[in-house]
Amino acid sequence: MPQTDTVTSTPTLEALFNHVTIRNFTKEDISPSVITTLLNAARRSPTSSNMQAYSLVVVRDQEKKAKLAELAGDQRHVAECPVFIAVCADVYRLKKAAEMHGKTLAQNTENTMIATIDAALVGMSLSTAAESIGLGAVMIGSMRNDPELAGKLLGLPKGVYVVYGLCLGWPDEDLRPAQKPRLPEELVIHYEHYSTEDPTPLLKQHDADLAIHYNKLGRNLHQSAWTGVMADKFSTPKRPWLRAVLEKMGFSFE
């Protein structure tokens, strides 16, 4: 393919540039064939050493979605979306593969990271593929509120946990949210080496931009709309029990 100095817009680029989190869906279902196509497209995602250390659990059952919604802190969109996908890290198959050859899977932090990263990559590909055909999506990290219960609801074997959930549905365009400002590119894109220039001025600018966004939505947060929220939210450890639970579920951090 000849190289050019310009990039022609594609459905994938449009999906990425136009991304917003969708929490309000129409009542229209998503056909099984569409879901299958999206899942198989996502399965072409990169995977470390061809391990493919992930699994995707498709949930349509309304009762099960309602239980998952409760687990996620009563997030109604988990129950209301037509299709919920549990994006899972999975070392169960790797254990079986090793056993087939009389060996034992050497589990450690690296394998746990690989499985989690593999799951994140395939889930992101699935989200982008869905948005490229007009679907909306929202990722549900609070599936990690109770990994054991989530695993029980989904019948997960030892060696599998839900990294996050993904709600899919056709967006209610009347309730489509405005795009939220992202951090300035100067803070997140570095060339040749990481820039250690004081980020405070750009962080303050982002605080102001985000405050304007939230004020338009009627959410009158303090002016430190990003730094203040991050400081408040992450000044104490989140889910400090998670490591012990995941080790119980068959993962290692050694």
Longest dimension (CA), the chain: 62
Q: Are 222 and 228 spatial neighbours (Cβ–Cβ below 8 Å)?
A: yes
| 223 pLDDT above the threshold of 70 | yes
Q: What is the pLDDT of residue 217?
A: 87
Average pLDDT over residues 97-119: 97
Burial letters 45-60, b for 16+ CB under 10 A, else e: bebeeebbbbbbbebe
Share of the chain above pLDDT 70, in %: 97
- pLDDT tens-digit series, residues 15-28: 899 999 999 999 99
Average pLDDT over residues 90-116: 97
Average pLDDT over residues 105-133: 97
- pLDDT tens-digit series, residues 228-254: 999 999 999 999 999 999 999 999 999
Beta carbons within 8 Å of 73's beta carbon, 6+ residues apart: 142, 145
Q: What is the pLDDT of residue 7?
A: 82
Per-residue DSSP letter, 105: -
Burial of residue 211, with CB atoms counted within 10 A of its CB: 0-12 exposed, 13-18 middle, 19 or more buried: buried
- pLDDT tens-digit series, residues 178-204: 999 999 999 999 999 999 999 999 999
Residues 92, 90: Cα–Cα separation, whole Å? 6
Share of the chain above pLDDT 90, in %: 92
Q: E strands, 104-223, where?
A: 136-140, 160-169
- Residue 5's pLDDT band, with cuts at 50, 70 and 90, is confident
Question: Which of 118, 140, 116 has its CA nearest to residue 45?
Answer: 118
Average pLDDT over residues 94-99: 97
Query: Given the DSSP bridges, would you call strands 83-90 and 136-140 parallel, antiparallel or unpaired?
Result: unpaired
Q: What is the pLDDT of residue 219?
A: 81
User: Which pTM value belongs to this model?
Assistant: 0.94
Average pLDDT in the chain? 95
- Residue 6's pLDDT band, with cuts at 50, 70 and 90, is confident
Q: Where in the chain is the domain with CATH 3.40.109.10?
A: 13-177
Over its C-alpha atoms, the chain yields an Rg (Å, rounded) of 20
CATH architecture of 13-177: 3-Layer(aba) Sandwich (3.40)
Q: What is the pLDDT of residue 3?
A: 65
